[in-house]
Amino acid sequence: MPAVLLIDDDMVSREVMATVLTMSGYPVDTAADGDRAVALLQEKSCAPELILMDAQMPGLSGVELIRQLRRHSGARLFVISASDAPADVLAEADGFLQKPFAPEALTTLLESKMVREGPKAAPGLDPHEAIVNRETLAQLREMMPDAAVKQIYEAIIADLGRRIAGLEAAIASGDWPETRRLGHAIKGGGLMAGAVQVARLGEKVESGALEPQRGRERTKVTIPVNQSDNSSSILADLRAAGVNLQRMLDAEFKA
């Protein structure tokens, strides 16, 4: 059974859930607050495959706690709360369960998540990959007002939509030099603002990942879209990267 790290500042809730999980066969480590949970991961005192964390706790909590946990663990992370969790917290987590709940509901949630999601197959976006470089974001916020920083990322999202449309047209006509050019432009815009996912995917396109495996033609050759081996999944990843970037904006720059 996968190991679980349970984070909850309420001792009763923490002990009840730990008992339920242990009786169901899950190895469990517990932490009474976010700082202790991060310390356990840093010390490698535990190596969870699943993390359950209360949505509202004193000290390190919420989105910042999730991001700290993500830096030290690739575990799936589910938020638990007695009330509705904040939207930005839900956007960062992999799932949500409202307290109080029957003991079997927790086990069912974990098992259904493992069965439904399983290991992430390539190609595809890693759910734990950074969406933006936090240092770059911090530097931009020091240099200019938040409204201006937000406009930069909004411009990248809008430009990404246009580039994706251009990629679709280039794929349809077999214009692989154009797909590489567009990939270079996507990579450049992403790197400028520290949009990690966008930049990585742009570099992938620039390297020729959209082209048919049977030959990396450098000249225009008309090939049906379904013959470009990875085009559908890569374009889907680009769209998902745009959605992720928008979610980051919504969480970082609240109205």
CA–CA dist 233, 244 (Å, integer): 16
Paired with 165 in beta bridges are none
pLDDT per residue as tens digits for the range 38-77: 999 999 888 898 899 998 888 888 999 998 998 888 888 8
Q: What pLDDT was estimated at residue 65?
A: 93
Domain 4-117 has CATH 3.30.70.600: no
The gap from C-alpha 128 to its chain's centroid, in whole angstroms, comes to 5
pLDDT per residue as tens digits for the range 221-233: 333 333 344 677 7
pLDDT per residue as tens digits for the range 94-134: 888 887 666 677 667 766 655 444 433 334 567 677 888 88
Global model pTM greater than 0.85: no
Domain 134-252 has CATH 1.10.3470: no
Give the residue from 13, 63, 4 showing the smallest Cα distance to 34. 63
Domain boundaries, the chain: 4-117, 134-252
- Give every CB contact of residue 222 below 8 A, 6+ residues apart in sequence: 173, 174
